[in-house]
Chain A
């Protein structure tokens, strides 16, 4: 599976320069977000890399190749979820480098620092976004899923909004109000793991049904 992740990274090398340009553009576009600016950049760039990876696969009709090689479908599907983390690492590094260079040349765009917290928040956002996108990608392939992308964006924003309201109300629940940060972190990570697990199982089932 690691080989498949490395393959995804190798395919992205062609757009490394483009990635820095996107970080540069996003750093201006997301200035109004203040301290959340790096999170938004990391999320945006990472999700673009997810999209680009899908486009490469489709362009080369790679599903036919991978399903002819001794590679199981769960490896093919699982590697796409793992690759998301690799993209977050790439996007975070690109964001940090761009922000640092811009500050060195006195271009003031950095509204927040690229910290471990912003990287983690970016990772959570992209993993959630990808958990919505990947089952559709594995069911339909890149070209058809591309048309549903804006639906995914809006569904994600709607859900994020609904969840933030829910979290506000949940804080009134005595157990959660009295819970320590470790418990809350555990609940957060657990919920996240559940979403990814459900998404993975769904992706695998849908991909298994596909014909090439």
Chain B
């Protein structure tokens, strides 16, 4: 079986911003974190995958199908959770579900009831009275109740307090393990992805900076810290996303052994987390 999601040279031009030849793919059964700063192009990419925006160039295949020509078939087999709720606030959750469910050929009422129960969602309450966390859980329940093979999630945890965010991620991780579906999860909160992502794709200024397995990424990049004087040596040439302060510098290196030799014990090397990698890529202007 091929990738569940494949983008090839996807380009979309706006006045003042271009999503530039974005390419990455996601294999079945994995969670891919899609990271980047605000305005980097995450939502634009997701809107293109969902056909909410028209492609200028490139190709998007979802579950092996063409995203434009086979849109309806794709949407039967994927679920989505966006950064904010797009459900009608004047309706109750039960009314909203009665409207949505008939559109899915594989709607599973029992699964839906199970998730509503699991997430402790009040069916008779108006969606306007739901907290943001409840709205996200409801969106997740809908997304998981039609046997979706791929979940597309755009910043689902933004605006949630840390407790609800952690609960949401726990639910997501458990559910994904049970349901065996793949997930593209965009977030600028990288700590969320530290917990659950198998792969990480980073977009910066409309271009893909990297798309790798999380382990590969954390092995490849090493955080280096040292005194400023060290920057007068060949060490500087090896640093990605250099950040200087009056006390010293910090950056990322890929060839630790070589830099360690050049630094001659005057630098400290640490394993970075995703946030540090993202920060150095963004602040250091690495593309």
Contacts and interface: CB of A to CB of B under 8 A. Distances in A.
Given A7-B99, A60-B87, A62-B86, A212 B75 contact: no
B16 to A, nearest CB: 16
B52 A70 contact: no
For chain B, what secondary structure do more than half of its interface residues adopt (helix, strand, loop), or is it mixed? Answer: loop
Interface in A32-82: 56, 59-62, 64-65, 67-72
Contacts of B87: 60, 65
A71 B89 contact: no
Interface in B50-81: 50-54, 72, 75-76, 80
A64 B82 contact: yes
A68 B95 CA distance: 19
A198 interface: no
A71 B103 contact: yes
B47 interface: yes
A70 B88 contact: no
Band of interface residues on A:
20 to 34
B89 A3 contact: no
A169 interface: no
A11 B47 contact: no
Nearest to B142: A69
Interface string A92-122: 0000000000000000000000000000000
Contacts of B47: 211-212
Contacts of A70: 72, 75-76, 103-105
Given A11-B88, A56-B90, A70-B72, A212 B103 contact: no
Interface string A1-21: 001001100110010000000
B72 A56 contact: no
B91 interface: yes
Contact of A65 (B54, B72, B76, B86): B86
Interface residues of B, number: 25
Given A70-B75, A72-B72, A3 B102 contact: yes
A200 B82 CA distance: 30
B100 interface: yes
Interface string A160-202: 0000000000000000000000000000000000000000000
Contacts of B76: 70
A14 B89 CA distance: 12
Q: Which of A6, A62, A69, A71 has the most CB of B within 10 A?
A: A69
Given A10-B95, A69-B100, A64 B88 contact: no
Contacts of B100: 69
A60 B135 CA distance: 13
Contact of B88 (A6, A60, A212): A60
Q: Which 5 A-B pairs have the closest CB atoms?
A: A65-B86, A70-B75, A212-B52, A70-B76, A7-B99
Interface of B: 47, 50-54, 72, 75-76, 80, 82, 84, 86-91, 95, 99-100, 102-105
25 contacts: A3-B99, A10-B91, A10-B95, A10-B99, A11-B88, A11-B90, A11-B91, A60-B86, A60-B87, A60-B89, A61-B86, A62-B88, A65-B86, A65-B87, A68-B75, A68-B80, A68-B82, A69-B75, A69-B100, A70-B72, A71-B103, A72-B72, A211-B47, A211-B52, A212-B52
